[in-house]
Amino acid sequence: MPLKILLLGKDGQIGWELQRALALLGEVQAHGRDSADLARPDLAVARVRDAAPDVVVNAAGHTAVDRAEHEPHAAFAVNAEAPAALAAACADLGAWYVQYSSDYVFDGRGSAPIDEHAVPAPLNAYGRSVLAGEDAVRRSGARHLLLRTSWVHSARGDNFVKTIVRLALEHERLAVVADQVGAPTSAELVADVTAHALRAVLDRPELGGTYHVAASGETSWHGCACLIVAWARAQGLPVRTADGAIAAVSSHERKGAAPRPLNSRLDTGKLRRAFGLHLPPWQAGVQRTLAEAFAAAPRPAQEATQGQRDVQQDVPRDVQQEVQREVQREVPR
């Protein structure tokens, strides 16, 4: 009998890639919000009980970090109550449960990579809701994989990588946060690691538990933006942002409703040792996302040469705010 997999959150960045990656393991029944809205955990659990799967993979979640500060009950319903109910249903069925989490369960102090033994201390409502979901899954008794990741990007949907390209085509100067450090991680990598780890735990259940998943290396949002703009220019896209015109700013200067951890470095040693994995550098993932999203894009003629333009001395506030909004979307899904 082929493995029966129920996937929730199929339309998100990771969920979209999981449809491909999980198909190598068995039959995938995939649901989006229209057919399994986690704001109604009872309906999502009904999907699980109807399907009676061998594995449930939950890639859905409330990921609007600033909005969670104003609607914590909604965030907890999706990120904590729904995983609790889904994991309990999996425990009853004897199914494996896979849940995604975030570096936001930590306060981001220090500069060392954070491993799975670090004590969580979330700074915001989103982080608290995700941590509550983790704790509920562990208490459920279900066999599970909890995969923490960060700074997710893909060619699908809105994310930091794609927004920086669009803004670089429109504006001569940008301002990007430089004191938050982590590893931009592609949804494709997260999905492939999930399938690999899931295949392994089905044979060796003792490998279940919590793991950190991230590309190797580290950078700031500012460093990532510099690579993105350089790539776009090398591809012949009509980039308006000049060399050296990406200002490095602090989190304090771009403070949102929810505080963010400065250190998002995740130690992936446990994952690599348990599953024999080599994780590619973050640059490779970003360049792949860029190639998929923009390499075939049309290249309209530039309106003027760099020397003909009057370079703005100050970054427009709307550009600053738009970059900051995308920095706030780096949570998984």
104 is catalytic: no
Query: Cα separations (Å) of 158 from 28, 60, 109, 322?
Result: 25, 16, 28, 12
Token match 């709307």: residue? 318
DSSP string, 208-261: -EEEE---BS-EEHHHHHHHHHHHHHHTT----SPTT-EEEE-TTTT--SS---
Token match 């562990």: residue? 138
Checking phi first, is residue 151 left (phi over 0); if not, alpha (psi -120 to 50) or beta? left
Across the chain, which distance is largest between two alpha carbons, in Å? 69
Separation between Cα atoms, residue 224 and residue 164, nearest integer Å: 9
Catalytic residue, chosen from 100, 104, 126, 211, is: 126
Query: Cα separations (Å) of 86 from 79, 143, 272?
Result: 11, 12, 28
List residues with catalytic annotation: 126
